[in-house]
Structures are given as structure tokens and as C-alpha cells.
């Protein structure tokens, strides 16, 4: 099994090894991380412009959101998760 790529420490070049992540998106992920801080919840990636939501499940299999060495768990997160990320789309009701 390949080594997981930590999205909080990976370079743009490393990020391109993930499914659905092209070079331009990798640079936007690194830029977002530098401006807003480390990712603490998977859905925060959806804040990155043009992030492929449909690739998120595949990315979770090959990546991690581990804290950075020297950062206490209490200082790491969670933080800026938006309510829309927690809302699940309503299930369609099937007639029985």
C-alpha cells in the first residue's frame, strides 16, 4: 500500500499524485493552506477553488490530515468548517 500523503505538509508536486489533483489545483491547495492554516476536516478542501468534490472519497483513501509536528492537538483544530459542509442532501423518499 502506498504511503499516505499528508495534505498539511505535502508540496504541490506531491499533491499531483492524488486522484483528480492537477498541477494548478495542487498550487491552489498549498496557497489555501498557507493563507488559512492547516486542514482539520476533509470538507474544508471544498473551499479550494475548483476542487473536485466527486474525487474527495478517492483522495481520502490516499491522503491524510495529520497534525504538524510540534503543534498540539488542541491548537490544531477543528476550526472554520462551514455549516453547508455538514448538511447532507435530503434522501429521496421511495414509495413502498
**Sorting pLDDT into bands at 50, 70 and 90, what band is 96?**
very low
Domain 5-81: CATH superfamily, name plus number: Tex RuvX-like domain-like (1.10.150.310)
Domain ranges for the chain: 5-81
Which of 91, 89, 82 has the alpha carbon at shortest distance from 46? 82
pLDDT tens track for 15-43: 999 999 999 999 999 999 989 888 988 99
3-state percent breakdown (helix, strand, coil) of the chain, nearest 5: 45, 5, 50
Amino acid at each position: 500500500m502506498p504511503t499516505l500523503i499528508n495534505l498539511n505538509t505535502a508540496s504541490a508536486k506531491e499533491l499531483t499524485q492524488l486522484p483528480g489533483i492537477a498541477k494548478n489545483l495542487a498550487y491552489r491547495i498549498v496557497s489555501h493552506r498557507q493563507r488559512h492554516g492547516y486542514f482539520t476536516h476533509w470538507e474544508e478542501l471544498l473551499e479550494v477553488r475548483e476542487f473536485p468534490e466527486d474525487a474527495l472519497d478517492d483522495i481520502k483513501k490516499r491522503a491524510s490530515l495529520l497534525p504538524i509536528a510540534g503543534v498540539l492537538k488542541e491548537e490544531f483544530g477543528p476550526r472554520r468548517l462551514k455549516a453547508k459542509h455538514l448538511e447532507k442532501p435530503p434522501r429521496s423518499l421511495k414509495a413502498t
